[in-house]
DNA sequence: ATGAAAGCGCTAACAA
DNA sequence: TTGTTAGCGCTTTCAT
């Protein structure tokens, strides 16, 4: 057979014929049952059932304009932080009857642009998690298709931001109260808005708290990069560090173990996000717990509530300090 | 405006008009450039570019039957094991020009059936990771749409199986050589083919190796369930255990730490999968390393190579033992 | 090599 | 309430 043995699925017309009504009636009976006589509704529905009718999404999208899908773009599916986001979006999307199209942009703005351009016609909207794209590009895309960003607020576009500022304050106060006078920040990707934001929050705190803030060069936000980051941190002579994310912190923990540097006795580490694994690494990580999954859910609700972005919502989600075992007294 | 401020995207007709050719020519120039005069091809392409033309996937799918999407169903996006699968499928799918539709079936066969039925018309095929569905149902679905399963082989359907048998042999030999005489298996979901398979492999080994195999009741394959599993294992009096997956093992590790049971001094644990986190939990987990990501990639290639399932391929991927620090001599 | 035209399956006016 | 009909944007014969 032409289609390789897969039977042609029944169409509205088939159902219509079996039920003895017009296709438009079937269409209504199935998508807006209240607009149809109860009697015919039942007839149509049972006909559809007996034929195992399943609506063709492409046809529906073509004629109605509604695609029933939302694209979710993440920089790296490998990263447990984004797992959390995905979990949140998936859940909310499913509840709202949408299908999630998941796309990995490989930490590249180019890729984000190319993929979203391609997807603009196939989705009702998109959620961009921590986009690496420039503000201008995002604004441009926002004109093509409804967009909500995560961790990248921007005028005119819906967004949800996991605001670590509050968490950073708690974290630094925790470290300073432990006697740390020199704290080093380990940044993430240069294009990461969050990373920049965290560093600024730390810097600002030097104005009112007795400590010195320094930072090392930027690192990829991965466990593997933790090795280099650890060495860089040791070279600063700081007694405590705050990392862009937990992945880096976990990688550093491994490197410190190798080098015989004891945490927190020799060095305190404060992570960020509280991802899967942060609670069972060794030692368990003190970190800034982020409502990751919630961020995904909220992004979906913003997108679906106000799809036209008439009055784009911007939601701020707070983080808080979770003290475990990687932070301790300075110079102990 | 009717569509909430989003401009109507250019269509083939717009491009055709600008280029001064027929729509069919534009269609060819764009999708099969070799079937068109070089001169017109260039004209058309530049017209398309200047209009920022993006093909409408729904329209294309409707008229051609090709949707350009593949559904990937996983029982639980939360589970790092499936992250690995997703990563693999995503990568391979993107390389082949397909879009991945990710679906979480919440460990429910019902849900798998319902979702796949709904998606059958919108996807060119589906990958079912560790489906909970009955064989009969899977066969039925396989008649509707090309399917490849992961960790659930079945006649007439493409599949990739991460075959732990070999790993289990290595693992048990490792344990037995360490002097363990009584080994307990901690099963995963009752509907899991893999879990059953592992237990059978262990049982079989009792025929030729000097140890006794027992098992505790089934547990959800999560860190949280590790608590109950740990207690159950302790009650058996065994000196070593093999768990359905690493998630359970990690949860057990935490529980043992709470109860003051030293691993591996008091009890050895052997996990399964080698997921993210297995190398940095405390102590690092001895486990059966599975080529998770590869499984996802292979599933895609099977699906795309032989979409009609004419000669369904069944690929077996071996696992191997990775010794870390949760296994040690018995009764030390 | 190119154009004209017939659908693909569905929704949404518009009529009845 | 129901039927008729005109597309939605594209691919694909079939002519030319």
| A14-26 per-position pLDDT tens digit | 999 999 999 999 9
Nearest alpha-carbon partner for B268 in B175, B168, B181, B166: B175
Q: Does the pLDDT of residue B317 top 60, yes or no? A: yes
> Which residues of B are less than 8 Å from A7 in CB distance?
143-144
Which one of B86, B115, B122 would you mutate to disrupt binding with A, by most A Cβ within 10 Å of its Cβ? B122
Q: Which of B4, B253, B276 to mutate to test the interface with A (most CBs of A within 10 A)?
A: B276
pLDDT band at B3 (very low <50, low <70, confident <90, very high): low
Nearest CA in chain B to A277: B277
Cross-chain residue pair B83–A78, CB shorter than 8 Å: yes
**What local confidence, expressed as pLDDT, does residue A2 receive?**
43
pLDDT digit string (tens) for A39-77? 999 999 999 999 999 999 999 999 999 999 999 999 998
Residue A273 pLDDT exceeds 80:
yes
> What's residue B77's pLDDT?
87
Q: What is the mean pLDDT of residues B313-317?
A: 95
> How far away is chain B from the Cα of A18, in angstroms, using its nearest Cα?
21
HSE-CB at A26 with a 13 A cutoff on CA atoms is: 23
In a mutational test of the B interface, the residue from A56, A57, A68, A95 whose CB has the highest number of chain B CBs within 10 Å is A57
Flag if B94 and A77 touch (Cβ within 8 Å). no
Q: Is the pLDDT of residue A6 over 60?
A: yes
Those residues whose C-beta lies under 8 Å from the C-beta of residue A212, and which sit 6 or more positions away, are A181, A182, A183, A206
> How far A52 CA sits from the closest chain B CA (Å)?
9
With an 8 Å Cβ cutoff, are B80 and A280 in contact? no
Strand partners, A70: A100, A125
pLDDT (tens digit, 9 = 90+) per residue, B182-197? 999 999 999 999 999 9
Q: Give the Cβ contact number of residue B260 at 10 Å.
A: 7
Is B11's CB less than 7 Å from nucleic acid strand D?
yes
pTM for this predicted structure: 0.93
- Specify the residue for token string 């796309």: A103
Closest nucleotide to residue B25 (Cα to C1')?
Answer: C2
Classify burial at B210, counting beta carbons within 10 Å of its beta carbon; exposed 0-12, middle 13-18, buried 19 or more: exposed
Question: Which residues, 6 or more positions from A251, have their beta carbon under 8 angstroms from its beta carbon?
Answer: A222, A223, A224, A225, A226, A227, A229, A230
Chain A partners within 8 Å of B101 (Cβ): 69, 99-102
On the question of pLDDT at B1 being above 50, the answer is no
Exposure letters A294-314 (e unless 16+ CB within 10 A, then b): bbbbbbbbbbbebbebeebbe
Across B146-155, average pLDDT = 95
- Interchain contact, B282 vs A281, CB within 8 Å: yes
Question: For residues B91 and B13, what is the distance between their CA atoms, to the nearest angstrom?
Answer: 34
Residue nearest to nucleotide D9 (CA to C1'): B59
For residue B2, is pLDDT > 50?
A: no
pLDDT tier for residue A7 given thresholds of 50, 70 and 90: confident
Report the residue from A61, A94, A145 with minimal CB separation from B58. A61
Q: How many Cβ pairs closer than 8 A exist between chain A and B?
A: 149
What is residue A332's predicted lDDT score, i.e. its pLDDT?
59
């Amino acid at each position: 057979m032409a289609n390789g043995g897969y039977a042609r699925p029944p169409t509205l017309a088939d159902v219509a014929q079996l039920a003895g009504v017009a296709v438009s009636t079937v269409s209504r009976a199935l998508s807006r049952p209240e607009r149809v006589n109860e009697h015919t509704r039942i007839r149509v529905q049972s006909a559809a059932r007996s034929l195992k009718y399943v609506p063709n999404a492409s046809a529906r999208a073509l004629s109605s304009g509604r695609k029933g899908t939302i694209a979710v773009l993440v920089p790296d599916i490998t990263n447990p932080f984004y797992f959390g986001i995905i979990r949140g979006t998936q859940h909310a999307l499913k509840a709202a009857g949408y299908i999630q199209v998941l796309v990995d942009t490989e930490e590249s703005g180019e890729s984000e642009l190319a993929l979203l351009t391609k997807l603009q016609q196939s989705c009702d909207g998109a959620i961009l998690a921590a986009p690496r794209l420039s503000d201008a590009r995002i604004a441009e895309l926002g004109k093509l298709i409804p967009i909500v960003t995560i961790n990248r607020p921007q005028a005119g576009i819906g967004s949800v931001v996991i605001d670590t500022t509050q968490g950073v304050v708690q974290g630094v106060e925790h470290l300073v109260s432990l006697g740390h006078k020199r704290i080093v920040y380990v940044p993430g990707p240069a294009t990461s808005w969050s990373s920049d934001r965290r560093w600024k929050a730390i810097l600002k705190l030097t104005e009112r708290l007795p400590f010195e803030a320094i930072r090392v060069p930027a690192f990829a936000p991965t466990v593997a990069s933790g090795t280099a980051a650890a060495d860089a941190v040791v070279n600063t002579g700081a007694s405590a560090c705050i990392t862009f994310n937990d992945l880096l912190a976990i990688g550093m923990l491994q490197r410190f173990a190798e080098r015989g540097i004891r945490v927190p006795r020799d060095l305190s580490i404060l992570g960020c996000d509280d991802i899967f694994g942060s609670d069972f690494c060794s030692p368990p990580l003190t970190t800034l717990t982020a409502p990751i999954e919630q961020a995904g859910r909220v992004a979906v609700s913003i997108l679906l509530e106000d799809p036209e972005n008439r009055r784009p919502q911007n939601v701020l989600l707070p983080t808080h300090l979770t003290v475990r075992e990687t932070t301790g007294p300075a110079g102990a």
